[in-house]
């Protein structure tokens, strides 16, 4: 399996980083590094995350939900959110 990060994920991860970095920049960097390490575990076990109502899957890490989809041999990381409701592009 290969992991591909969507541009939406990258934008939302930057928002998470900037929010945490307001207090501690090093902590924000370390937190995002740990999130990406957690995501990388999907290479060996892509069905690790829970099923979501839209037919995709969700990985949860320290209160953050990371929606993703599996397409053949690729895991596409769609986004990241905390307590706010994340909407797929079809929901908008």
pLDDT, tens only, 32-81? 999 999 999 999 999 999 998 888 999 999 999 999 999 999 999 999 99
Q: Which of 32, 45, 46, 48 is nearest to 80 (CA)?
A: 32
Residue spans per domain, the chain: 2-82
Query: 2-82, what's its fold?
Result: YaeB-like fold (3.30.2310)
Which pLDDT does position 4 carry in this prediction? 98
**pTM of the complete model:** 0.87
Burial of 79 (0-12, 13-18, 19+ CB in 10 A): buried
């Amino acid at each position: 399996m290969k992991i591909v990060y969507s541009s939406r994920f990258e934008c939302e991860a930057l928002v998470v980083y900037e929010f945490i970095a307001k207090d501690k920049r090093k902590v924000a960097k370390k937190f995002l590094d740990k999130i990406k390490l957690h995501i990388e575990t999907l290479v060996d076990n892509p069905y690790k995350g829970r099923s979501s109502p839209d037919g995709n899957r969700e990985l949860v890490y320290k209160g953050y939900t990371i929606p993703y989809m599996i397409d053949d041999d690729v895991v596409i990381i769609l986004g990241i959110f905390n307590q706010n409701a994340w909407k797929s592009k079809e929901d908008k």
